[in-house]
Amino acid sequence: MTLRTTTRDELAAYLAQTLNVAQYRDYCPNGLQVEGRSEIGLIVSGVTASQALLDAAVDLKADAVLVHHGYFWRGEDARVIGMKHKRLKTLLANDINLFAYHLPLDAHLTLGNNAQLARIIGLEGSSRFGDEQLGWLGHVSTSTGMQTVADLAQAIAQRLGRTPLLIGDGNVPLRQVAWCTGAAQGMLGDAIAAGASVYISGEISEPTVHLAREAGVAYIAAGHHATERYGVQALAAQLVERFGIEHHFIDIDNPV
Ligand SMILES: [Zn+2]
């Protein structure tokens, strides 16, 4: 493969179209968040545009950073001071573009975090539920051989490289499985209403435990970061295929 370059505007347009960005009401801007140089030959992707990811992008002389968690969240302090100043200064001083896609990258039917988590764990989706239809409902693929909730938790530990927190009885046979990556513990009620007997998300809150117990549904907290590593990699792989540019995914570990 010969490496090529594309332009910032071409990349932005392709990403907006691929991810159907215009159809989402989100609490951050999706797309080009910080403008850098116009020609793009090398991108670095990661889950979150943390300082560590930006420093790695600078070291690699990246032209653009592509993430799931970018900046400018609704309700955040608008001032450019402290951590935000340092991050923006790093991008601007090095002329690096920042592209960020939040809900559109959770929801995409093949490249999204939920679709990719299913592929990694061995789940098959049959329908969707909840806000923006972000939650997925389905079952474990029969080829995985998983029988019980404990089997599922064990498979998650292996595939994601992180031991999940399981609330509920591991001996229960698997029936309908629901999942939604990230901080979607608030959708447990929707998952139960949709018919799930086990619900996988990233994070967990104190009330999540009570709702799971009292509904007799298992809850698996598999890690916000761990469940959201895969969408951005699938998206970047598509950019490599489409534009012939170079890509490096950098996993900045986060135990949450
Ligand atoms: Zn997230």
pTM for this model (two decimals) = 0.96
Question: What confidence tier does 39 reach under pLDDT thresholds 50, 70, 90?
Answer: very high
Q: Tell me: the pLDDT tens digits for 127-174?
A: 999 988 999 999 999 999 999 999 999 999 999 999 999 999 999 999
Give me ligand 1 centre to Cα 187, in Å.
14
* pLDDT score of 1: 52
How far does the centroid of ligand 1 lie from the alpha carbon of residue 224, in Å? 6
The CA distance from 135 to 128, in Å, is: 5
- Phi, psi angle pair for 68, to nearest 5°: -90, -40
Q: How far is the CA of 94 from the centre of ligand 1 (A)?
A: 26
pLDDT at 217 over 60: yes
Ligand 1 center from residue 3 Cα (angstroms):
31
Q: Chain-wide mean pLDDT for the chain?
A: 97
Q: pLDDT class for 182, splitting at 50, 70, 90?
A: very high
Q: Ligand 1 mean position to 68 CA, how many Å? A: 7
How far apart are the CA of 117 and the centre of ligand 1, in A? 13
Gap from CA of 114 to ligand 1 centroid (Å): 11
* pLDDT score of 132: 86
The percentage of residues in the chain with a pLDDT greater than 90, rounded to a whole number, is 98
Q: Tell me: pLDDT of 2 over 90.
A: no
> What's the gap in Å between 228 CA and the centre of ligand 1?
6
* Residue 223, pLDDT above cutoff 90: yes
Model pLDDT for residues 60-78, shown as the tens digit of each residue: 999 999 999 999 999 999 9
Q: Pairing state of beta strands 42-48 and 64-69?
A: parallel
Distance CA 19, CA 1 (A): 25
Cα of 4 to ligand 1 centre, how many Å?
31
CA of 1 to the centre of ligand 1 (A): 33
C-alpha of residue 137 to centroid of ligand 1, in Å: 19
pLDDT for residue 131: 85
